[in-house]
Amino acid sequence: MKAVVCEQYGSIDNLTIKEVNDPTPGKGEVLVKVKAVGVNFPDGLLVQGLYQAKPELPFTPGSEFCGEIESLGEGVPHLKPGRRVICMSPSFGAFAEKAVVNCMMTIPVPPDMPDHDAANILCAHGTAHHALKQRAQLKQGETLVVLGAAGGTGLAAVQIGKLMGARVIAVCSTDEKLAIAKENGADELINYSNENLKDRIKALTNRKGADVVYDPVGGDAFKACAGAMARNGRLLVIGFASGTIPELAVNLTLVKEYSVVGVFWGSFVQHEPKVFMENMQELFTWYKEGGVRIEIDSSFSLENTAAALNHVMGRQVKGKVVVTTN
Ligand SMILES: NC(=O)c1ccc[n+]([C@@H]2O[C@H](COP(=O)([O-])OP(=O)(O)OC[C@H]3O[C@@H](n4cnc5c(N)ncnc54)[C@H](OP(=O)(O)O)[C@@H]3O)[C@@H](O)[C@H]2O)c1
């Protein structure tokens, strides 16, 4: 089978595509014929050696995908070959024609969900959902500020914030990106390339500040939000797409009695599988009803996986990018 291979950490352009042996499913695992792979920001960090996980070289990147079960390892009574499934592979391997995954990370695809949507619903929407529901405990009528609101997980947070009854303020670097956030339900828009983020959040909240901030960007944007939180607010630390991990003057949290709340969806999935599955069922319901949508920015072939990753890392994407195997 063909697989994308990372032989050394460094430039994304060093990725190669190779003919390798099919993987074999072990106990509790399934072999899946990959159809579509969701491309995520952490995939790009991983191959550059900039992510918290550093798999042993060589390895095949990619973790979120949709495919069809080809065969089962021992001890997988609840699944059958031929079933279309959504998979999450914490050990990577998805940018390939076939991948092996733990059966517990394999979810049957709801009917009528296309492969490219199924391949993209886990990581971005899963993170936003977990962050707003379990971590922030977002309440109806609260004000939610979403940074990077046209990005993969940001756009998901806009949609889910609206579904949970919040007033959503979307923050993006261009008017074109803000237009996508608005189409996806944002109530208010801030362009942080030419507006003062802290002042605008305060102005839009009657000086009260934001109840919840969803921050996948970090850097200066985090610092601006840290000074514009409401009393009892929750500042969600999602990621650092800007490349800068910010520092916080903790006196701000004392004065406003707000919390800084870490979010690590991968850890949640591993430690709370039952709650994760309940979240997925809610996401599937919202998808069926139309409140959750997967905005596909662009599609690439497996051979062009490096271009797909560069596109995601290049701050150009609105919604999600998908890699398909045929
Ligand atoms: N904690 C978790 O469990 C978890 C799960 C998934 C993802 N993440 C993290 O969340 C972050 C965003 O992921 P994503 O999938 O939403 O990525 P994405 O689709 O590329 O969106 C990231 C957004 O960040 C903004 N940004 C600001 N400075 C940037 C820069 N220098 N380069 C690129 N983007 C920049 C961009 O919006 P503007 O142009 O509008 O500023 C962009 O749309 C990543 O750091 C990722 O690792 C964390």
156 lines ligand 1 (CB under 6 A): no
Residue 90's pLDDT is: 76
Q: Three-state DSSP class for 230?
A: strand
Residue 191 confidence (pLDDT) above 90: yes
Instruction: State pLDDT tens for residues 78-95.
Output: 999 999 999 998 779 999
Residue 300's pLDDT is: 98
Query: Do 24 and 65 sit in the same domain of this protein?
Result: yes
Does residue 165 belong to any structural domain of this protein? yes
Q: How confident is the model at residue 226 (pLDDT cuts 50, 70, 90)?
A: very high
Position with higher pLDDT, 92 vs 202? 202
Q: What is the average pLDDT value for the chain, to the nearest integer?
A: 96
Residue 53's pLDDT is: 87
Query: If you take atom 24 of ligand 1, which residue's CA is the nearest one?
Result: 148
CA distance 212 to 27: 43
Position with higher pLDDT, 104 vs 237? 237
Which atom of ligand 1 has the smallest separation from the CA of 156?
Answer: 16
Query: If you take atom 12 of ligand 1, which residue's CA is the nearest one?
Result: 216
177 lines ligand 1 (CB under 6 A): yes
Domain of 214 in residue numbering reads as 125-266
Pocket test for ligand 1, best of 220, 238, 240, 272 (most atoms within 8 A of CB): 238
Residue 15's pLDDT is: 97
Does residue 219 belong to any structural domain of this protein? yes
Does residue 289 belong to any structural domain of this protein? no
CATH code of the domain containing 36: 3.90.180.10
216 lines ligand 1 (CB under 6 A): yes
Tell me the two tokens of residue 59.
Answer: 């390895």
Does residue 105 belong to any structural domain of this protein? yes
Residue 260 confidence (pLDDT) above 90: yes
Instruction: State pLDDT tens for residues 271-323.
Output: 999 999 999 999 999 999 999 999 999 999 999 999 999 999 999 899 999 99
Number of domains in the chain: 2
Query: Do 195 and 222 sit in the same domain of this protein?
Result: yes
| Distances 266 to 70, 207, 270 between C-alpha atoms, Å | 25, 36, 6
Our CA angle for 119, 124, 129, nearest 5°, is 120
Query: Do 144 and 235 sit in the same domain of this protein?
Result: yes
Query: Do 261 and 180 sit in the same domain of this protein?
Result: yes
Query: Do 155 and 251 sit in the same domain of this protein?
Result: yes
Query: If you take atom 18 of ligand 1, which residue's CA is the nearest one?
Result: 151
Residue for token pair 């699944």: 79
Does residue 190 belong to any structural domain of this protein? yes
Query: Do 156 and 244 sit in the same domain of this protein?
Result: yes
Query: Do 144 and 257 sit in the same domain of this protein?
Result: yes
Query: Do 55 and 134 sit in the same domain of this protein?
Result: no
- Show contacts of 199-203: CB within 8 Å, 24+ apart: 201/145, 201/169, 201/225, 201/228, 202/228
